[in-house]
């Protein structure tokens, strides 16, 4: 790996961390905004849904654009939009501007995250890719984990302070991308001039067929399962097992630490040892068994251990499937990663909605549904086959 490629990967990882940190800074501030401006829960729900919706719509379109226009311009524009969205949120006290800000933020996320993953796939060999995808996943997780805590501290100064900081972080990431990130085409030539990538296909048929269609299905199921599990977790363990806020905070903090360690230190080694398909299969099986374990146990300790197993399995699932997706083709990386994020967004919307509605019927039904989907996905992994492509 050349020095230029290493520098590019560092910038991609750092910028994705800053963007995800900026996105999650706002979470602890939402109650302040609701109370300060006398907004309803429906207003706040629409505000959150707009981000996911525009991310879902924009990701596959922009992914295809990045295949044609190049990765760097899309990355720069995405970071610029992110900074603009945060400034809009910071300067306004009107609901329609908050909604506009979140919609722009969703487009920005739809531009940056899949394009960064596509560029990582462009400039790495098959051997290097699992490690780099693991780093990107860890930077995403790290930003989402650290953001709420930092946002809560800043909100103590002023509830708009997190948004100003997020705008500054986005601007810094954009400047680093402009001046320090080489174009993917130049890096690809330096790293793999022997194997030039195929010309991007003009048809979605090249992506939505064969083993890739099954992988996209698994992406949706894993995001649906994670959000279906996570969105009601605090309510479930509080009502069923009488977990206190400190108990829940302990579990989530331990999960964040363990997930980062696995993604940064162990993910690449697990892929080398097991391969992406087998790792995905094991992760689905462990998450299904651990969720079922929670449904039948009465022990606090067992619930904590099972929870850590579930979250760790989910945090290995996404980078494993993403790595396998990027290895299925030497072209169309923008489309592939755009659809990846788009399907993740659908799962992120559907999971909480379905789990929340089922929770009103019975506390155990949502997790029983999650177990069913995870178990079905475990069996579906036996139908996934690696598509032979030129090794790079």
Q: What percent of the chain has pLDDT over 90?
A: 16
- By mean pLDDT, which of 21-30, 116-125, 159-168, 325-334 is the weakest? 325-334
The torsion of the CA quartet 67, 72, 78, 81, rounded to 10 degrees, works out to -130
**Domain stops at, among 158, 190, 222:** 190
Residue 336 counted as domain residue: yes
Cα distance from N-terminal residue to C-terminal residue, the chain = 12
pLDDT digits (tens, 9 = 90+) for 46-91: 777 788 788 878 877 887 788 788 888 999 999 999 999 999 988 9
> Do residue 248 and residue 147 come from a single domain?
no
Same domain, 115 and 7: yes
Asked whether residue 391 is domain-assigned, the answer is no
pLDDT at 197: 46
Same domain? 47 vs 16:
yes
On whether both 181 and 228 belong to a single domain, the answer is no
The answer to whether residues 140 and 233 belong to one domain is no
Residue range 143-190, pLDDT digits in tens: 776 776 677 777 778 878 888 988 998 898 899 888 888 765 565 555
Query: Is 390 within the bounds of a domain?
Result: no
Give the pLDDT of residue 198. Answer: 46
- 3-state DSSP call for residue 4? helix
Task: Count the domains in the chain.
Answer: 2
| pLDDT given at position 291 | 95
Mean predicted lDDT score pLDDT of the chain: 79
Is pLDDT of 39 > 80? Answer: no
288 has a pLDDT exceeding 90:
yes
- Which is nearest to 323 in space by CA: 141, 134, 189? 134
The residue from 160, 190, 220 where one domain ends is: 190
pLDDT of residue 64: 78
CA distances 267 to 86, 312, 359, 377, Å, are 33, 11, 34, 21
Could you tell me where the beta strands, DSSP code E, fall in 9-87? Answer: none
Question: Alpha-carbon torsion 277, 283, 286, 288, what sign?
Answer: negative
| Between residues 367 and 229, the one the model is more confident about | 367
Phi, psi of 361, rounded to the nearest 5 degrees:
-85, -50
pTM over 0.85, yes/no: no
200 domain residue, yes or no: no
Indicate if 176 and 285 belong to the same structural domain.
no
The answer to the question of residue 266 being in a domain is yes
Q: Is the pLDDT of residue 112 over 80?
A: yes
The C-alpha atoms of residue 69 and residue 15 are separated, in whole angstroms, by 20
On whether both 182 and 212 belong to a single domain, the answer is no
Answer yes or no: are the C-beta atoms of 221 and 374 closer than 8 Å: yes
Rounded to an integer, the average pLDDT of 28-37 is 74
Confidence of residue 245 (pLDDT cuts 50, 70, 90): low
Domain hosting 272: range is 207-383
Confirm whether 199 is domain-assigned: no
CATH code: domain of residue 179: 1.20.1250.20
Output 134 or 169, whichever has higher pLDDT.
169
Write down the pLDDT at residue 380.
86
Residue 392 placed within a domain = no
Whether 267 and 313 map to the same domain: the answer is yes
Q: Which tens digits make up the pLDDT trace of 343-353?
A: 777 776 777 77
- Mean of the pLDDT values across residues 333-345? 70
Query: Binning pLDDT at 50, 70 and 90, where does residue 386 land?
Result: low
Percent of the chain clearing pLDDT 70 (strictly above): 84
Could you tell me if 156 and 232 lie in one domain? no
Nearest to 52 by CA among 94, 95, 113: 113
Q: What is the rounded average pLDDT of the residues 199-224?
A: 66
Whole-angstrom distance, CA of residue 79 vs CA of residue 100: 17
What is the distance, to the nearest Å, from the Cα of residue 274 to the centroid of all Cα atoms in its chain? 23
Q: Of 159, 190, 221, which residue sits at a domain end?
A: 190
Question: Residue 299 to residues 229, 237, 294, 303, 368: CA-CA distances in angstroms?
Answer: 19, 11, 9, 6, 18
Look at residue 142 and tell me if it is in a domain.
yes
Pair (328, 248) in one structural domain: yes
55 and 179 housed in the same domain = yes
Are 178 and 82 in the same domain? yes
């Amino acid at each position: 790996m050349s020095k230029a490629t290493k520098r590019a990967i560092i910038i991609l990882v750092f910028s994705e961390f800053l963007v995800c940190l900026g996105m999650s800074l706002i979470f602890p501030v939402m109650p302040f905004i609701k109370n300060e401006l006398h907004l309803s829960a429906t207003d706040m729900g629409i505000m959150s849904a707009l981000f996911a919706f525009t991310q879902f719509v924009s990701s596959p379109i922009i992914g295809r654009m990045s295949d044609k226009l190049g990765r760097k311009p899309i990355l720069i524009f995405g970071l610029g939009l992110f900074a603009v969205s945060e400034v809009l949120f910071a300067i306004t006290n009107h609901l329609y501007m908050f909604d506009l800000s979140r919609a722009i933020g969703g487009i920005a996320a739809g531009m940056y995250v899949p394009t960064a993953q596509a560029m990582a796939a462009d400039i790495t060999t098959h051997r290097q890719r699992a490690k780099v995808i693991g780093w990107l996943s860890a930077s995403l997780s790290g930003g989402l984990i650290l953001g709420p805590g930092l946002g809560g501290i800043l909100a103590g100064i002023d509830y708009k302070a997190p948004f100003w900081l997020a705008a500054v972080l986005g601007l810094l990431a954009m400047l680093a991308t402009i001046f320090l990130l080489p174009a993917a085409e130049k890096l690809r030539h330096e790293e793999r001039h022997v194997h030039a990538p195929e010309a991007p296909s003009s048809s979605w048929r090249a992506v939505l067929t064969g083993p890739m269609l099954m992988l996209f299905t698994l992406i949706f199921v894993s995001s649906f399962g994670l959000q279906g599990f996570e969105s009601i977790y605090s309510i479930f363990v509080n009502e069923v097992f009488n977990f206190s806020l400190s108990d829940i905070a302990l579990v989530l903090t331990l999960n964040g630490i363990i997930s980062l360690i696995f993604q940064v230190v162990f993910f690449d080694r697990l892929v080398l040892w097991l391969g992406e398909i087998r790792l995905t299969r094991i992760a689905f099986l462990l998450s299904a068994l651990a969720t079922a374990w929670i449904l039948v146990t009465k022990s606090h300790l067992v619930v904590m251990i099972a929870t850590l197993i579930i979250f760790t399995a989910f945090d290995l699932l996404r980078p494993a499937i993403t790595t396998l997706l990027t290895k299925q083709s030497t072209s169309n990386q923008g489309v592939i990663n755009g659809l990846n994020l788009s399907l993740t967004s659908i799962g992120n919307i559907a999971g909480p909605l379905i789990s929340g509605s089922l929770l009103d019927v019975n506390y155990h039904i949502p997790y029983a549904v999650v177990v069913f989907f995870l178990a079905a996905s475990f069996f579906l992994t036996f139908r996934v086959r690696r598509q032979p492509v030129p090794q790079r």
